[in-house]
C-alpha cells in the first residue's frame, strides 16, 4: 500500500495541471470563437511545403 503515498499526489497533480491548463486557455480567449476554431483547422496553408533540397536534416 505504501506505493499510494506516491500515486495519490501524482494523480492529484496531474488533475491540477489539467485544471490549470483549462483555466489558462479560458483566460487567453481560446473559447471566444468555438465555431471559427472548428473551421480554421480545415483551411489550407497558403505557403507551399518546403522542397527536399531546403529541408534541414533532423
The C-alpha atoms of residue 38 and residue 44 are separated, in whole angstroms, by 14
CB of 32 to other proteins, least distance (A): 7
CB of 14 to other proteins, least distance (A): 9
The C-alpha atoms of residue 9 and residue 29 are separated, in whole angstroms, by 30
> Mapping DSSP to helix (H, G, I), strand (E, B) and coil, where does residue 30 land?
coil
Residues 1-58 that bind other proteins (CB under 8 A): 1, 4, 8, 11-12, 15-16, 18-19, 22-23, 26, 31-36, 39-44, 46
The C-alpha atoms of residue 26 and residue 21 are separated, in whole angstroms, by 9
Give the binding site for other proteins (CB under 8 A): 1, 4, 8, 11-12, 15-16, 18-19, 22-23, 26, 31-36, 39-44, 46
Amino acid at each position: 500500500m505504501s506505493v499510494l503515498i506516491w500515486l495519490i499526489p501524482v494523480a492529484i497533480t496531474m488533475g491540477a495541471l489539467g485544471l490549470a491548463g483549462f483555466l489558462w486557455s479560458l483566460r487567453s480567449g481560446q473559447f471566444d470563437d468555438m465555431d471559427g476554431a472548428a473551421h480554421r483547422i480545415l483551411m489550407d496553408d497558403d505557403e507551399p511545403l518546403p522542397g527536399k533540397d531546403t529541408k534541414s536534416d533532423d
